[in-house]
């Protein structure tokens, strides 16, 4: 009797081990497929941009009246245009083959890429000078780095501007900690942008706050780093 019970248990255990694997699979749940387009009820774009006659309602907003600077004249040193080799100012002044330093309502030609051993001031006279758009503004870490002598005007001017907007050329380049530390020690805050945006920001802030509070140091947008 005991032997028969053991034999039955062994057969049952063997049957449990040989059950097909498919009996343990998770039942497949079908997914719903939507064939209707998502934008079936979206409104169609207008065929014309004509919005009809101008409204005479008194409640409509005059956005021109919201411009608080509309009656404020732009500074004479506002940047009117950025060219590959220079700048055009609001006072009809043109600067070529040079950067631009705008401080205290005055405009200065600015070539921060020049070093002490280079010759300056003879290229325009068909001489052997090196004052063209050639040189280096980046250090070994690819940071914008210029000598302290490039900021001589900022050392002499008084009162010093509260903000200096630096335009690093065709694209934004991080400036070196040494340059930032030197200018901060003069009591000047910095804003770093590409030259086009830096010029636009200078025009806005100089009109709003005055040229004594805002200065700009701009590298031409056509600047290419020498190898």
Cis omega (within 30 of 0) for bond into 159: yes
Give the pLDDT band of residue 84 (cuts 50, 70, 90). Answer: very high
Per the domain annotation, does 146 fall within a domain? yes
* C-alpha closest to that of 202 among 217, 188, 219: 217
* Amino acid 17: pLDDT: 53
The CB density around residue 87, as the number of other CB atoms within 10 Å, is 26
* pLDDT value of residue 114: 86
**Under 8 Å between Cβ of 89 and 206:** no
pTM: predicted TM-score of the whole model, two decimal places = 0.66
Report if residue 123 sits inside a domain.
Answer: no
Does 211 reside within a domain? yes
**Is 80 exceeded by the pLDDT of residue 69?**
no
Give the pairing type, strands 163-167 and 189-193: parallel
Split at pLDDT 50, 70, 90, the class of 123 is very low
Encode pLDDT of 179-211 as tens digits. 999 999 999 999 999 999 999 999 999 998 889
The gap from C-alpha 172 to its chain's centroid, in whole angstroms, comes to: 6
C-alpha radius of gyration, the chain, whole number: 36
In a domain, 11, yes or no: no
The confidence band for 160, taking pLDDT boundaries of 50, 70 and 90, is: very high
Token pair of 156 as six digits:
């002499």
Nearest Cα neighbor of 170 from 100, 82, 80, 79 is 82
- The boundaries of the domain holding residue 91 are 73-115+133-218
Give the span between the Cα atoms of 58 and 213, in whole angstroms.
40
Binning pLDDT at 50, 70 and 90, where does residue 61 land? low
Q: What's the mean pLDDT in 69-95?
A: 85
Dump pLDDT digits (tens) for 87-109: 999 888 999 999 999 999 999 99
Within a domain: 107:
yes
d(CA 168, CA 175): 9
How far apart (Å, rounded) are the C-alpha atoms in residues 38 and 49?
26
pLDDT given for residue 115 in this prediction: 74
Please say whether the beta carbons of 171 and 178 come within 8 A.
no
- pLDDT for res 163: 96
Q: Residue 84 falls within a domain, yes or no? A: yes
Q: CATH number of the domain that 164 lies in?
A: 3.40.1230.10
Return the minimum-mean-pLDDT range out of 20-24, 95-99, 133-137.
Answer: 20-24
Give the total number of structural domains in the chain. Answer: 1
Work out the average pLDDT over 70-79.
Answer: 76
Report yes or no on 28 lying in a domain: no
Is residue 105 within 8 Å of 209, Cβ to Cβ? Answer: no
Arithmetic mean of pLDDT, 67-86: 79
Domain membership of residue 162 (yes or no) is yes
Q: Output the DSSP codes for 154-207.
A: HHH-SSPPSEEEEE-SSS--PBPHHHHHHHHHTT-EEEEE-HHHHHHHHHHHHH
């Amino acid at each position: 009797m005991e032997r028969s019970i053991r034999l039955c248990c062994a057969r049952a255990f063997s049957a449990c081990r040989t059950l097909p694997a498919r009996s343990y699979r998770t039942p497949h749940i079908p997914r719903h497929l939507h064939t209707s387009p998502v934008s079936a009820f979206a409104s169609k774009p207008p065929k014309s941009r004509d919005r009809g006659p101008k409204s005479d309602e008194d409640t409509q907003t005059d956005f021109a009246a919201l411009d608080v600077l509309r009656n404020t004249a732009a500074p004479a040193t506002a940047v009117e245009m950025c060219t590959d080799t220079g700048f055009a100012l609001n006072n009809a002044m043109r600067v070529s083959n040079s950067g631009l330093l705008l401080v205290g309502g005055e405009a200065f030609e600015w070539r921060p890429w020049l070093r002490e051993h280079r010759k300056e001031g003879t290229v325009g006279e068909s001489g052997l000078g090196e004052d063209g758009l050639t040189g280096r503004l980046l250090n070994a870490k690819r940071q914008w780095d210029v000598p302290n002598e490039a900021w001589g005007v900022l050392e002499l001017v008084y009162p010093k501007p509260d903000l200096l907007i630096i335009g690093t050329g065709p694209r934004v380049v991080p400036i070196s900690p040494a340059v930032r530390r030197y200018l901060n020690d003069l009591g000047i805050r910095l804003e770093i942008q590409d030259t086009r945006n830096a010029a636009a920001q200078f025009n806005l802030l100089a009109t709003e706050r005055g040229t004594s509070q805002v200065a700009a140091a701009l590298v031409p947008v056509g600047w290419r780093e020498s190898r």
